[in-house]
Amino acid sequence: MNFDDNKELFIEEARELLAKMEAALLSLEKEPGNGELINEVFRALHTIKGSGAMFGFDGMSAFAHGFENMFDDMRKGSVGVSSDIIGLSLRSLDCLSAWLDDGEAHESQASIERELEAIKATLRSGSTSAAAEPAVEPTAGRGGADDDSDGLTNLYRIRFSPSRDLLTRGVKVENLFGDLAELGQYYSYADVDGVPGLDAIDPTGLYLSWIIDLSTSAPVEDIRSVFIFVEDYAEIRIETLEVVDQAGKPSVPRIGEILANRGALAKEDVDIIHQKQKPFGELALESGKLSKPALEAALAEQRMAKAAAGERESRKESSSIRVRKEKLDYLIDAVGELVILEARLREEARTSGMSAFEGIAENLGRLTSDLRDATMNIRMVPLEESFSGFHRLVRDLGSQLGKEIDLVIAGANTEMDKNIIEALKDPLVHIIRNSADHGIEAPELRAKLGKPRAGTIRIEARQQGSKVEIAISDDGAGLDIERIKAKGVERGLIDATERDPKRIMPLIFEPSFSTAARTTGVSGRGVGMDVVKSNLERLRGEISLDSEPGRGTRILLSIPLTLVIVDGLLVRVGAVTYVLALNQVEECVDVERSEVLGDGKRRIINLRGKTIPLIDLRDVFEMDRSDDSGAQRLVIVDAEGMTVGFRVDGVVGKQQVVIKPFTMNLRQVPTIAGATILGDGSVAFILNIREIFKSQRQSEPLAREGATT
């Protein structure tokens, strides 16, 4: 094994283990009697300890070993779960994370080790280690659906052939079987063919090898970690045994097939015995070519295969493969270029008038669309990946602020582009910190107000069409409207006569805006909420705010699922082509000039009894007005929950577009979200519907829509 080449893979997997341990520890604090959570932390520490030593993280491995022993004592019941131990364990995870980041110990490691040693000192007299005995019958273990796996029960055959000198290296083979028992149910068969005569036996030598059938829902990586310290001194093979056929139906092998695969019988002997009309096992014993223990082991494997197949029959099998993020980014970019090339081919086919050429372009367009959707889905991951770390954040904030805070998460299985999730993490952290510091009251004050002592921060996510909505709410004091208004007037951001809360509350998103009387380690420096807004705008997202005094605050984030390829509607204004996001377009209509009421920017139409304000895109981009005496071509869109009609000169058609980001200078144009390359090689600008609507509303109030006549 080339350890240097695999070091980055170890670091990535170790980070995942740390995240899972953190979640398990936080759950364990609420469920101190949950042995499964203790086992989960123990196994993760065991893996990090062994793998860390293999990849040169000796200090980290030694540090993890100390905590592994403590959780081993917890499993045996000699150490109880307490908030102090959970807190110490969480701090230890920070130290392990520091090793992965810098290859050096965290500054708090020494104090943590002293606290850990103090705990051990009080237990040392009663702490003993009981070695697990190797199993000779199927041994019940954990192996439940709470494992860090896909939840499906798999059957593995492990061939463990240790070197003759394994025992002289201080290895206790029985401990390996004990670790396997933690993963699930197993049956072990000892192969004694390598044992010499009594006069030739070396008392320090190990002559046995084992075939072990393991039924578990744990991933194969957990099985490998059991043998991590002996893999250099043994031959270890792990085979996945099929328990379902290609159609997903139970498929249990016959005894003869199992014996042949295990090497207990030759294939030709199996065929000979099959020709006789007796149960195979009975005939195999009569032939003298098979021992009774070997047959019992094969029968045990068959029973376990039947059990595993039964569990999987009603469940869908899933599998995954780890792919580096850079490779996915390249794939997305390549598909984006393919979309552009397909559009050019389609345009050339249309202008050439060659029917065969057009058919090829049409088929390619369909395949490109399918490839685009499949590629986008590859990078879609559950929000749980980002949300899981917030439990630790809220716990630490509550401790730091002297408050009792519960975090409730709903919709964590909602999926988004991984790059967007990463960009959302900082804004979400800012919002949660503000909710904890400014929103949630102190326990004593909440009790006086008739509220539960513990405040609640709630995060909810759901998919709405091509967007994901994330709502962060708290049941705290709510925003102090008058204080925000006073600060806004002081800074010249709002008029003193303003009374509309919907215009006052958004001031908290202004740069350096803070109403805090003092700064703390959590907030109050005037940074944070403006960062939230700017980050959301970079993601082409929207943010809205609602608050009620004494009841709490709710912040709603609306973010597109992906940022690279979108379905767009091409429209023409003058000689320029623009793109509207198709998911925001409701319909395209032609109306006579006589149906348009009003003049200037205050124009409206009555569409099927609904009053809709109009925006002329020629006005937005300061173009000369076209002759508007004839029919008016309108694109009806949804802008911030309000229906608006955009007047255009022509509708070109629907097309997939690849969004190309602007340089820094062009990003200053708020009404343009980006650009794309069309099939004829020309450039089209992607309109920011939200900003267009906002700029027109600020320059001259639009007629209120929604009235009926």
**Residues 302-336: pLDDT tens digits?**
777 777 766 655 454 445 667 777 788 888 888 88
pLDDT, position 706: 47
pLDDT exceeds 50 at position 526: no
Using DSSP bridges, classify how beta strands 576-581 and 596-599 pair: parallel, antiparallel or unpaired.
unpaired
Closest residue by Cα to residue 394 from 385, 403, 383, 405 = 405
Asked which of 47-51, 88-92, 188-192, 387-391 is least confident by mean pLDDT, the reply is 47-51
Tokens representing 299?
A: 């029968």
For the segment 3-8, the average pLDDT, to the nearest whole number, is 61
Structure token pair of residue 580: 């509207």
Mean pLDDT value across residues 69-97: 85
Q: Is 192 helix (H, G, I), strand (E, B) or coil?
A: coil
CA atoms within a 13 Å half-sphere pointing along the CA-CB vector of 273: 25
Average pLDDT over residues 646-668: 76
CB 473 within 8 A of CB 552: yes
When comparing pLDDT for 15 and 5, which is higher? 15
pLDDT given at position 161: 92
CA distances from 507 to 88, 497, 502, 515, 555 (A): 41, 15, 10, 11, 14
Higher pLDDT among residues 598 and 571, named by residue: 571
Query: For 432-447, how does the pLDDT look when each residue is reduced to its tens digit (9 = 90+)?
Result: 998 999 899 999 999 9
Q: Answer whether 442's CB lies under 8 Å from 405's CB.
A: no
**Cα 204 from chain centre:** 50
| Range in 182-186, 450-454, 521-525 the model is least confident about | 521-525
pLDDT greater at residue 251 or residue 634: 634
> Which residues face 210 on adjacent strands?
160, 190
Distance CA 423, CA 548 (A): 29
Pairing of strands 610-616, 642-648: parallel
Predicted confidence (pLDDT) at residue 246 exceeds the cutoff of 70: no
- Angle of the 35-54 helix axis to the 58-76 helix axis, nearest 10: 160
148 confidence band (pLDDT: 50, 70, 90): very low
Are 76 and 130 in contact by the 8 Å Cβ rule? The answer is yes
Q: Would you state the pLDDT for residue 134?
A: 35
pLDDT, position 151: 53
3-state helix, strand, coil in the chain (%, to 5): 45, 20, 30
Using an 8 Å Cβ cutoff, are 692 and 638 in contact? no
pLDDT-derived band at 149, boundaries 50, 70, 90: very low
Lowest mean pLDDT among 3-17, 491-505, 588-602: 3-17
Backbone angles phi, psi at 531, to 5 degrees: -65, -40
pLDDT at residue 279 greater than cutoff 80:
no
Tokens representing residue 212 in the block:
């072990």
Please tell me the distance from the alpha carbon of residue 476 to that of residue 443, in angstroms, as a whole number. Answer: 11
- Here the tokens at position 409 are 């998460």
pLDDT of residue 145: 34
Contacts of 467 (CB under 8 A, 6+ apart): 558, 559, 560, 561, 583
At residue 251, does pLDDT exceed 80?
no
pTM of the complete model: 0.58
Question: Quick one: which of 685, 688, 638, 617 has its CA closest to 657?
Answer: 685
> Checking DSSP bridges between strand 552-560 and strand 576-581, what pairing results, if any?
unpaired
Q: Name beta bridge partners: 187.
A: 213
Structural contact between residues 162 and 175, judged by C-beta atoms closer than 8 angstroms:
no
Question: Tokens in use for 324?
Answer: 């580096």
Q: Which of the two residues, 300 and 662, has the higher pLDDT score? A: 300
- Per-residue model confidence (pLDDT) at position 130: 34
Identify the burial level of 685 via C-beta atoms within 10 angstroms of its C-beta, where 0-12 means exposed, 13-18 middle and 19 or more buried.
Answer: buried
**In sequence order, which ranges of 32-151 are alpha helices (DSSP H)?**
35-54, 58-76, 83-102, 109-123
> For the purposes of burial, counting CB atoms within 10 Å of the CB of 94, is it exposed (0-12), middle (13-18) or buried (19 or more)?
middle
Average the pLDDT over each of 71-85, 237-251, 537-551 and give the range with the smallest value: 237-251
Question: Over 70: is that where the pLDDT of 619 sits?
Answer: yes
User: Band of the pLDDT at 457, cuts 50, 70, 90?
Assistant: very high
The Cα 518–Cα 511 span in angstroms is 17
Q: What single-letter DSSP state applies at residue 243?
A: -
* pLDDT 10s digits, 461-474: 988 766 788 999 99
Compute the radius of gyration of the chain from its Cα atoms: 33
Could you give phi then psi for residue 544, rounded to 5 degrees?
-130, 160
Q: How far is CA 432 from the centre of its chain?
A: 19
Strand segments (E) across 536-692: 542-548, 552-560, 565-573, 576-581, 585-591, 596-599, 602-607, 610-616, 632-639, 642-648, 650-658, 672-677, 683-687
Helix (H) or strand (E) holding 213: strand 209-216
pLDDT confidence band for 286 (50 / 70 / 90): confident
Q: What are phi and psi of 242, to 5 degrees?
A: -75, 130
Tokens of 370: 């399918």
**What's phi and psi for 256, nearest 5 deg?**
-60, -40
Which of 348-357, 372-381, 696-705 has the lowest average pLDDT? 696-705
Residues 6 or more apart in contact with residue 104 via CB below 8 angstroms: 59, 98
Instruction: Please name the residue that has the structure tokens 């255009």.
Output: 648
pLDDT attached to residue 311: 60
d(CA 4, CA 1): 9
Q: Which contiguous run of DSSP H or E holds residue 343?
A: helix 325-352
The answer to whether 75 and 39 have CB atoms below 8 angstroms apart is: yes
pLDDT band at 248 (very low <50, low <70, confident <90, very high): low
Mean per-residue pLDDT over the chain, rounded: 79
Q: Looking at residue 435, what DSSP letter applies?
A: I
Long-range contacts of 623-628 (CB under 8 A, 24+ apart): 623/573, 623/574, 626/574, 628/593
Closest CA to 302 of 250, 248, 265, 247: 250
Model confidence at 22: pLDDT above 50: yes
